[in-house]
């Protein structure tokens, strides 16, 4: 699935907010909350108190993605744009690691 397709489908389930500030707060706190759920699964695994359930971890990572999509939707930014910007940043920071990989930025045009 492509990121923008995911964002479009995920936002079908987005709550309708009367207050735009509340929507942004929901997005930001949701990202923090779901990231915390990911961290908790890993923490309990590392502490030996609970075996890691990969299916549960995948679901929580999906929840993080959902709130990221909501945050981007609020800001009128596509997930695809965020992904591209992040790769550009990584290339500037770790350019040598991308050598030989080629420039795939034009593949979908
Ligand atoms: Mg969750």
The CATH number covering residue 49 comes to: 1.10.287.1080
Inside any domain, residue 106:
no
Distance 84 CA to ligand 1 centre (A): 26
Residue 106 has pLDDT above 60, yes or no: no
Distance 5 CA to ligand 1 centre (A): 21
CB-CB neighbours of 7 under 10 Å: 21
Inside any domain, residue 82:
yes
Inside any domain, residue 69:
yes
Question: Which residues, including other chains, have CB under 8 Å from residue 69's CB and lie 6 or more apart?
Answer: 6, 7, 10, 11, 79
Instruction: Kindly state the average pLDDT of the residues 60-80.
Output: 97
Distance 27 CA to ligand 1 centre (A): 13
Q: Which two tokens stand for residue 11?
A: 């936002």
Number of domains in the chain: 1
Inside any domain, residue 93:
yes
- Alpha helix segments (H runs only) across 1-109: 3-10, 20-47, 54-74, 79-98
pLDDT tens column, 10-56: 999 999 999 989 999 999 999 999 999 999 999 999 999 899 999 99
Q: What backbone torsions phi and psi does residue 38 show, to the nearest 5 degrees?
A: -60, -50
Distance 76 CA to ligand 1 centre (A): 24
Query: What range defines the domain where residue 86 resides?
Result: 3-7+20-98
How is residue 108 annotated by DSSP? T
Distance 90 CA to ligand 1 centre (A): 28
């Amino acid at each position: 699935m492509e990121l923008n397709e995911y964002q479009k489908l995920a936002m079908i389930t987005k709550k309708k907010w009367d207050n735009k500030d509340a929507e942004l707060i929901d997005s930001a706190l949701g990202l923090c909350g779901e990231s915390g759920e990911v961290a908790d699964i890993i923490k309990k695994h590392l502490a030996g108190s609970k075996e890691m359930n990969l299916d549960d971890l995948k679901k929580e990572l999906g929840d993080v993605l959902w709130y990221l999509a909501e945050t981007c939707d609020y800001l009128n930014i596509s997930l695809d744009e965020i992904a591209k910007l992040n790769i550009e940043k990584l290339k500037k920071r770790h350019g040598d690691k991308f050598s030989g990989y080629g420039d795939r930025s034009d593949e979908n045009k």
